[in-house]
Amino acid sequence: MTDEELIRLYWKRNERAISETSRIYGKYCYAIAYNILHDNEDSEECVNDSYHKVWNAIPPTKPNVFSAFIGRIVRNISLDRYKMRTAEKRGGSQIPVILDEIGEIASDTPSPEDECVRQELATAINDFLKCLPMDQRVMLVRRYWYADDVRSIAERLGMRENSVSVALRRIRNRLREYLISRGIEL
Amino acid sequence: MRRDFLFDAWEGIDDKYIEEARTYEYVRKTINWKHVLSIAAAAVVTVGVGIGVYQIATSSPAPNHTTGEPTHQATMTAQDTTIPKETTIPQDTTIPKDTESSCGGEGTLVTENVCIKLSGIEYWLENEEAYTYLMEKYDEIKYSLISSGVDAQNMVISPNGYSHFRTEDNTVPVNWRDFLVYNDGELIAILTVSKGEIPGENGPHYNVAFGGPWFKQYNDFLMAHKGEKLVYLYIGTTEAVITPDNKIYRTGNLTEVEDLKADFDYYSFFDQEANTYTPS
């Protein structure tokens, strides 16, 4: 089944869309969640939540790259779960409850300044990625978007782990210089 | 800068890089000496044949371009097949890549200095054709909605369909149109009629979307803008609508799209014939 056919199922509100998504993208989503959470149960829950979110988003959304679309959703849900878990460890189970309570009276929407900085950074990172050779770009995206460990990246790229670490450090330094050259304060 | 800002910014990378990293597979490059030797042998043979051909060619009389008089076998064959003597066979008949996306070509509208291209022109779907098709399918659509639990007894399909301007590539597709479906004044579904999207099936076909939790609010919005021409677009994957007062709303939750240039007339800029709809 192609992505287009899959999206068509969502538009038709056909529940087979979810089982097909699970069949085609289940492992991919699970890998993203597991890289962040390192917990089977949590990862599975996040993946299931992401299916639900996709179901509610399409329509009206018509994703151009479905894998990236669902990948972003599962990544965000997993990061939220990770933050929640970290908060629980730090301050006991009351912290997430308190945060929820505060959330009712204060918007958690980022301020326009925050949003502006984030957008500027995202644009700069995209421009930087565009200039990189493909293997270096894949390395960087696998590390900082997919949260892959160095060993997995080394296997994927046919390199030694040490070479990946060195290459990543060099690319990070170049990214830092690039961001500074664009006037972004670090 | 806060560390989490830099981390969060990765969320905004392009879909194409996410997809590239997903599908990238390293192919181990090992030297197959047998393969290398066979290529070398083939190269030697080719060079040898080339030299031989060159020697034969240079020993033949030179062609007379002024009279077009045939001087060797290749020209004789061309003459026999009625190609004019002066005609030169083009070396490369492919269209340069940049020509395909340049301004002013077929299906291109130019607004100010930006090219707005129409896409799907080979399967152009006129509003009338799409609406006639939907009328033929009226009963089928109605009963499929009813069987899905939607109240569609008094179903009315809005006669005006619209496409969307895609900001991603500045195109307005003309091979599909969305039609709103009402029942007793309530929005109950959106039909998409399209052509040329299914291989081997060039006639129109439809998809129906219903049950969106945002329909009610969107319906109220449309009623509030009755009689006004609305302009539709996709900003990336987000469907949006521009009202005549130059405000852009996401249709899913009707919040305004921020970060717009205050003095830019988005409404007029994105207003193309195919992507407008006037609720009545």
| Domains of chain B, start order | 1-92 (no CATH), 100-277 (3.10.500)
Total domains in chain A come to 2
Q: Using the predicted structure, report yes or no on whether residue B268 has a pLDDT greater than 90.
A: no
∠ CA B81-B83-B87, nearest 5°, is 150
Domain containing residue A131: CATH number: 1.10.10.10
Residue % of chain A over a pLDDT of 70: 85
Domain assignment present for residue A31? The answer is yes
Decide if A141 and B6 are in contact by the 8 Å CB cutoff. Answer: no
> What band does B65 get if pLDDT is binned at 50, 70 and 90?
very low
Q: Using the predicted structure, report yes or no on whether residue B54 has a pLDDT greater than 60.
A: no
> What band does A94 get if pLDDT is binned at 50, 70 and 90?
low
Domain residues for the domain of A57 are: 3-105
Decide if B192 and A11 are in contact by the 8 Å CB cutoff. Answer: yes
- The residue with greater pLDDT, A122 or B236, is A122
- Mean pLDDT, rounded, of chain B: 71
| Cβ–Cβ contact A61 with B under 8 A | yes
Q: Using the predicted structure, report yes or no on whether residue B24 has a pLDDT greater than 60.
A: yes
Tell me, yes or no, whether A70 and A161 share the same domain.
Answer: no
Contact B233, B242 (CB under 8 A): yes
> What band does A185 get if pLDDT is binned at 50, 70 and 90?
confident
pTM greater than 0.80 (yes/no): no
Check: complex ipTM more than 0.95: no
Distance CA B199, CA B177 (A): 19
| Last residue within a domain, chosen from A76, A105, A134 | A105
Domain assignment present for residue A24? The answer is yes
Decide if A145 and B13 are in contact by the 8 Å CB cutoff. Answer: yes
Closest approach of A68 to chain B, Cα-based (Å): 5
| Last residue within a domain, chosen from A105, A133, A160 | A105
- Largest distance between two CA atoms of chain A: 51
Cβ pairs A/B, distance under 8 A: 126
Decide if A119 and B207 are in contact by the 8 Å CB cutoff. Answer: no
For the ranges A64-73, A96-105, B140-149, the one whose mean pLDDT is highest: A64-73
Domain assignment present for residue A152? The answer is yes
Show the tokens assigned to A50. Answer: 């992401």
| Cβ–Cβ contact A80 with B under 8 A | no
Q: Using the predicted structure, report yes or no on whether residue A108 has a pLDDT greater than 70.
A: no
Closest approach of A92 to chain B, Cα-based (Å): 22
Domain assignment present for residue A141? The answer is yes
Show the tokens assigned to A140. Answer: 């960087």
Domain assignment present for residue A76? The answer is yes
Tell me, yes or no, whether A123 and A171 share the same domain.
Answer: yes
Segment A75-94 shows an average pLDDT of 76
Distance CA B245, CA B252 (A): 20
B118-145 confidence digits (pLDDT tens): 888 888 888 999 999 999 999 999 988 8
- Mean pLDDT, rounded, of chain A: 84
pLDDT computed for residue A64 by the predictor: 85
pLDDT computed for residue B115 by the predictor: 65
Tell me, yes or no, whether A93 and A122 share the same domain.
Answer: no
Sort out which chain A residues have CB atoms less than 8 A from B169's CB and list them: none
Tell me, yes or no, whether A26 and A63 share the same domain.
Answer: yes
Domain assignment present for residue A173? The answer is yes
Before A112, cis peptide (omega within 30)? no
Tell me, yes or no, whether A31 and A67 share the same domain.
Answer: yes
Segment B19-45 shows an average pLDDT of 58
| Cβ–Cβ contact A31 with B under 8 A | no
Decide if B22 and A71 are in contact by the 8 Å CB cutoff. Answer: yes
Decide if B207 and A28 are in contact by the 8 Å CB cutoff. Answer: no
Before A60, cis peptide (omega within 30)? yes
Tell me, yes or no, whether A53 and A74 share the same domain.
Answer: yes
Tell me, yes or no, whether A8 and A72 share the same domain.
Answer: yes
| Last residue within a domain, chosen from A105, A128, A150 | A105
Q: Using the predicted structure, report yes or no on whether residue B177 has a pLDDT greater than 80.
A: yes
Tell me, yes or no, whether A101 and A160 share the same domain.
Answer: no
Tell me, yes or no, whether A82 and A147 share the same domain.
Answer: no
Tell me, yes or no, whether A65 and A46 share the same domain.
Answer: yes
Q: Which residues pair with B231 in a beta bridge?
A: B242, B276
Tell me, yes or no, whether A101 and A121 share the same domain.
Answer: no
* Residue A104, CA distances (Å) to A93, A100, A112, B69, B111 in order: 18, 7, 20, 92, 46
H helices present in chain B, as ranges: 3-9, 15-23, 33-59, 73-80, 97-100, 127-136, 138-147, 215-224, 266-270
Q: Using the predicted structure, report yes or no on whether residue B159 has a pLDDT greater than 50.
A: yes
Segment B13-29 shows an average pLDDT of 78
B75-116 confidence digits (pLDDT tens): 222 233 333 333 332 222 222 223 233 333 333 334 445 567
Tell me, yes or no, whether A92 and A116 share the same domain.
Answer: no
Domain assignment present for residue A82? The answer is yes
Domain assignment present for residue A186? The answer is no
Sort out which chain B residues have CB atoms less than 8 A from A32's CB and list them: none
Decide if B6 and A121 are in contact by the 8 Å CB cutoff. Answer: yes
Domain containing residue A87: CATH number: 1.10.1740
